[in-house]
């Protein structure tokens, strides 16, 4: 997991931050019941803090768009660097120096149940690709290379 901040934000360019360093920043996050919110609340509670929320929503994918619009900062999956809307170029990403700042994805299936061809293909793809390599490579800053209007 990474902390996304709008370009030009005081944390833009930082390698990492701690939870106390961002305790007074407004956060864009999801409502209770979503993993992003549970992670944010857990990270702050571990420090005896409560996050300051500027915006809550029901669509986790919209978080990066709201951050790029300057509504606050927020937690996003590291793998979102490689996918998404144009918002991925208008936010900077910073590592959060907290041992629990991660999420684990798990794929399960029943061996005694039918799997469609698409499900089998998906299972093969996800179990044969090194999906965690994004955590092993250094964080690269993404710069917008589009020509200016």
- Which tens digits make up the pLDDT trace of 65-116? 899 999 999 998 887 655 545 545 689 999 999 988 887 777 788 889 999 9
20-34, 84-98, 127-141: range with lowest mean pLDDT: 127-141
* 91 three-state secondary structure: strand
Residues in a beta bridge with 149:
none
Query: Rounded to an integer, what distance in angstroms lies between the CA atom of residue 66 and that of residue 30?
Result: 11
Query: Rounded to an integer, what distance in angstroms lies between the CA atom of residue 67 and that of residue 70?
Result: 5
**Model pTM score:** 0.71
The pLDDT score that the predictor gives to residue 81 is 54
Q: Phi and psi of 89, rounded to 5°? A: -90, -15
Please, which pLDDT band fits residue 149 given cuts at 50, 70 and 90?
very low
As a whole number of Å, the CA-based R_g of the chain is 17
The pLDDT score that the predictor gives to residue 58 is 85
Percent of the chain exceeding pLDDT 70 equals 80
Range ranked top by mean pLDDT from 18-22, 101-105, 145-149: 18-22
* Per-residue pLDDT reduced to its tens digit, 50-61: 999 999 988 877
How many other β-carbons are positioned within 10 Å of the β-carbon of residue 119? Answer: 12
Using an 8 Å Cβ cutoff, are 5 and 63 in contact? no
Percent of the chain exceeding pLDDT 90 equals 50
Q: Phi and psi of 106, rounded to 5°? A: -130, 135
């Amino acid at each position: 997991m990474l902390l996304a901040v709008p370009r030009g934000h005081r944390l833009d360019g930082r390698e990492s931050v701690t939870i106390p360093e961002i305790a007074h920043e407004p956060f864009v996050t999801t409502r209770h019941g979503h993993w992003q919110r549970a992670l944010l609340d857990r990270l702050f509670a571990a420090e005896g803090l409560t996050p300051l929320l500027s915006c809550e929503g029901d669509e986790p994918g919209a978080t990066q768009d709201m951050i790029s619009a300057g509504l606050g900062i927020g937690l996003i999956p590291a793998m979102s660097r490689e996918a998404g809307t144009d918002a991925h170029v208008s936010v900077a990403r910073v590592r959060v120096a907290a041992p629990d700042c991660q999420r684990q994805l798990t794929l399960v299936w029943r061996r005694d149940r039918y799997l469609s061809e698409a499900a089998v293909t998906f299972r093969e793809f996800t179990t044969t690709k090194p999906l965690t390599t994004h955590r092993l490579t250094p964080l690269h800053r993404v710069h917008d290379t589009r020509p200016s209007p």
